[in-house]
């Protein structure tokens, strides 16, 4: 039975927009079609600008926007942020026992979905209002009328994105809409940083690393001076790896780092500790229970990113509403975040928000190593904390896993068939592996950005896990399509 909290949403269930599950079995090719349609619609919304607001800019939240699949100034300004935030809050409340929810009960699952939709809509409206009230888009022509139109655009786009995700998860598509949109955003950013044919930058080269490389090599060979500033000296082979005028632009150092991070994450995904298990009902039949190095996957990075994004957002909102005071004017605001206008955008220059925002390049790291060390330390610390927290909240702790193994008729050879001895064995591995995994993902997510990785370190972390998940799902769907008799074993 549903808890008192979830029953509050029963009257709302009939008014919530919903995508019905398919009344028939959806074929593999049709699932591919609907998944592709959802992806195309998402990419279109990423390029459609808000009313009287231009698409692009906002570099200060680039590495966080990848996590939320958002694009500044477009219909996807908020991205999947409200959906993820609403889902995570309810999952944390349900996992900690603060709200009663039995996920094996269809009624509870339905009410939980209704609650998630309700909070998604509320958070979309709150965030859209905060963006407008906080002056994120500056002084908009048209005043209140323009703000209302932008608010309605963001609210409608949020609803469409929520329904696209529900459509895919209900069985019309493959996988999860949220994962699909994150992967698309990372792939788009990697492709743009590699081959972006935008107009020439400050140094006369294109934004894309490979196009810029094709321009830089002849200049190095001929001994040309750097465009516009002979005092900077001649082009050298070091400029192949780092741009001389603006080190934050994509360069080959970032591409090499991207490949390295990609391979490291793939390797880390495959590292695991395997505990021998046996079936009590079938003597002689043994198997292995794997404990992955990335035991809680990339959830700690998502939690930490959401926290950092909210710190940045609310500090900038307060700074804007208090009249954009200069650093040193308001003590408590200086502790939270100090800003200055740089290239018509507020840039953090001090306070907590400064240290939870990643340096943009290796040049930024060398010029301010204290900030880089602080960011890496904070990121790693929060990833470890969130990893350990999610053990119990997400039902992945030794006690819960031991009970699941015993209920499945399994035991560890040499131990009694009881949850207590299995729990003691699991306690030797799970907490240690969890802390180590949190440390690794935090280290990769923070340090990778120091070298200008394409798509950000967090984006590469998430994309590798999502691609692995989609590979498994596509194989299962294909096998179920070719051999219908296996469908019930694959959960189809």
Mean pLDDT per segment of 10 residues, for the chain of length 492 residues? 72 85 85 92 91 68 74 88 84 76 76 89 89 74 85 94 91 87 88 78 74 84 67 73 79 90 88 80 70 82 79 79 79 83 74 86 87 92 87 78 79 74 85 90 88 86 85 80 61 52
The reply to whether 111 and 259 lie within a common domain is: no
What is the pTM assigned to this prediction?
Answer: 0.82
The confidence score (pLDDT) of residue 168 equals 92
The reply to whether 136 and 257 lie within a common domain is: no
Residue 418's domain comprises 246-454
- Among residues 45, 124, 17, 38, the alpha carbon closest in space to that of 81 is found at 124
Is 84 a member of any domain? yes
The reply to whether 264 and 334 lie within a common domain is: yes
DSSP line for 319-376: HHHTT-PPTTS-HHHHHH-EEEEETTEEEEEESHHHHTS--SSHHHHHH-HHHHHHHH
Is 236 a member of any domain? no
The confidence score (pLDDT) of residue 1 equals 45
- Rounded to the nearest 5°, which phi and psi values hold at 290? -85, 135
Q: Where does a domain end: 172, 197, 222?
A: 197
Compute CA distances 144 → 138, 187, 310, 489, whole Å.
Answer: 13, 37, 25, 57
The reply to whether 187 and 267 lie within a common domain is: no
Is 241 a member of any domain? no
The confidence score (pLDDT) of residue 153 equals 94
The reply to whether 143 and 279 lie within a common domain is: no
Compute CA distances 158 → 42, 61, 165, whole Å.
Answer: 11, 19, 11
The reply to whether 68 and 188 lie within a common domain is: yes
Split into its structural domains, the chain has a count of 2
Q: Where does a domain end: 175, 197, 219?
A: 197
Cα separation, 198 vs 204, in Å, equals 11
The confidence score (pLDDT) of residue 242 equals 83
The reply to whether 266 and 408 lie within a common domain is: yes
The reply to whether 32 and 147 lie within a common domain is: yes
Is 490 a member of any domain? no
Is 215 a member of any domain? no
Cα separation, 6 vs 17, in Å, equals 18
The reply to whether 294 and 362 lie within a common domain is: yes
- Rounded to the nearest 5°, which phi and psi values hold at 274? -110, 120
Is 480 a member of any domain? no
Is 474 a member of any domain? no
The confidence score (pLDDT) of residue 199 equals 62
The reply to whether 169 and 261 lie within a common domain is: no
3-class DSSP state for residue 142? coil
The confidence score (pLDDT) of residue 281 equals 64
Is 445 a member of any domain? yes
The reply to whether 281 and 189 lie within a common domain is: no
Those residues with Cβ within 8 angstroms of residue 314's Cβ, 6 or more apart along the chain or in another chain: none
Q: What letters, b where the CB count within 10 A reaches 16 and e where it falls short, cover 250-276?
A: bbbbbbebbeebbebbeebbeebbebe
Say which CATH number the domain at 146 has.
Answer: 1.10.3370.10
């Amino acid at each position: 039975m549903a808890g008192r909290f979830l029953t509050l949403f029963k009257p709302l269930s009939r008014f919530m927009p919903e995508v019905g599950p398919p009344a028939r079995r959806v074929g593999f090719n049709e699932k591919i079609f609907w998944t592709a349609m959802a992806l195309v619609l998402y990419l279109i919304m990423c390029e459609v600008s808000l009313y009287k607001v231009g698409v692009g800019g906002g570099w200060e939240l680039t590495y966080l926007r990848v996590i939320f699949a958002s694009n500044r100034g477009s219909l996807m300004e908020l991205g999947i942020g409200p959906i993820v935030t609403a889902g995570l809050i309810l999952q944390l409340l349900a996992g900690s026992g603060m709200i009663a929810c039995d996920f094996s009960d269809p009624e509870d699952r339905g009410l939980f979905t209704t609650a998630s939709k309700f909070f998604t809509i509320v958070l979309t409206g709150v965030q859209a209002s905060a963006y407008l009230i906080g002056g994120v888009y500056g002084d908009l022509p048209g005043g209140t009328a323009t703000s209302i139109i932008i608010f309605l655009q963001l609210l409608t786009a949020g609803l469409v994105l929520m329904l696209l995700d529900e459509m895919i998860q209900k069985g019309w598509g493959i996988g999860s809409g949220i994962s699909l949109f994150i992967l698309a955003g990372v792939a788009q950013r990697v492709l743009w940083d590699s081959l972006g044919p935008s107009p020439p930058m400050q140094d006369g080269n294109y934004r894309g690393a490979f196009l810029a490389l094709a321009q830089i090599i002849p200049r190095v060979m001929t001994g040309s001076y750097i465009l516009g500033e002979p005092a900077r000296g001649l082009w050298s082979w070091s400029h192949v790896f780092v741009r001389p005028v603006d080190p934050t632009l994509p360069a080959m150092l970032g591409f090499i780092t991207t490949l390295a991070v990609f391979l490291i994450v793939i390797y880390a995904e495959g590292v695991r500790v395997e505990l021998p298990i046996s079936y009590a009902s079938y003597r002689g039949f043994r198997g292995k229970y794997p404990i992955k190095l990335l035991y809680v996957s990339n959830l700690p990075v998502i939690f930490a990113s959401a926290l950092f994004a909210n710190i940045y957002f609310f500090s900038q909102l307060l700074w804007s509403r208090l009249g954009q005071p200069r650093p040193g004017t308001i003590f408590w605001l200086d502790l939270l975040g100090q800003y200055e206008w740089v290239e018509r955008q507020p840039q953090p220059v001090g306070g907590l928000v400064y240290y939870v925002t990643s340096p943009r390049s290796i040049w930024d790291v060398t010029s301010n190593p204290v900030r880089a060390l602080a960011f890496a330390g904070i990121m790693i610390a929060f990833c470890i904390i969130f990893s350990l927290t999610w053990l119990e909240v997400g039902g992945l702790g030794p006690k819960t896993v031991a009970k699941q193994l015993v209920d499945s008729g399994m035991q560890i050879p040499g131990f009694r068939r009881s949850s207590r001895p299995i729990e003691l064995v699991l306690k030797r591995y799970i907490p240690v592996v969890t802390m180590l995994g949190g440390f690794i993902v935090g280290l990769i997510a923070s340090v990778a950005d120091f070298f200008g990785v394409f798509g950000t370190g967090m984006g590469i972390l998430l994309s590798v896990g999502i691609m692995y998940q989609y590979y498994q799902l596509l194989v299962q769907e294909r096998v179920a399509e070719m051999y219908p008799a296996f469908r019930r074993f694959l959960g189809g």
